[in-house]
Structure 1
Amino acid sequence: MSYTAVRAGSNDTYTTKYYQLMIERLLSLLYIWCFATLTSCFAQKESISELYAQLDRAIEQSQHYTKQKESSIAQLKELIH
């Protein structure tokens, strides 16, 4: 749809409908943008939560590996003495 500029006061009904239509379009774009932004935020939160979970698992694995190495070193020290 194409609209032409209307001089103020020449056709108030047309002007009002035009502005209402433009406002509706702007609001719909705003709603779409807000929804996309919220979706992105939730996705990032989910990603951050997953990253923290991966980090926790990595720390647990590292601690387990460290305990195994400490145990092996302690056993070797006992064999040497």
Structure 2
Amino acid sequence: MTENTEATGGPERRVRVVLVDDHRMFRTGVQAEIGETEETGVEVVGEAADVDQAVTVITATRPEVVLLDVHLPGGGGVEVLRRCAPLM
């Protein structure tokens, strides 16, 4: 987590997010809606399209939030949770 100072003098918190969905267009759309990190405080630190990629990126980046699709190649969102839960 990174803390900066806004022009008003208050702390600005950045939330690190990983996007997990097998549809690239959906991930791209979510990232576009999130907008610029400097404006929103949300930083997309990784993306994944299947269970193995999701586990790899989640364990490597350790985000605060994971937007996780329940239907993924390789076992689905439940499999991602099962494999990542012991690491959190």
TM-score band by shorter chain is: under 0.3
Q: TM-score, normalised by structure 1?
A: 0.18
Structure (1 or 2) with the larger CA radius of gyration: 1
More strand by share: 2
More helix by share: 1
Q: TM-score, normalised by structure 2?
A: 0.17
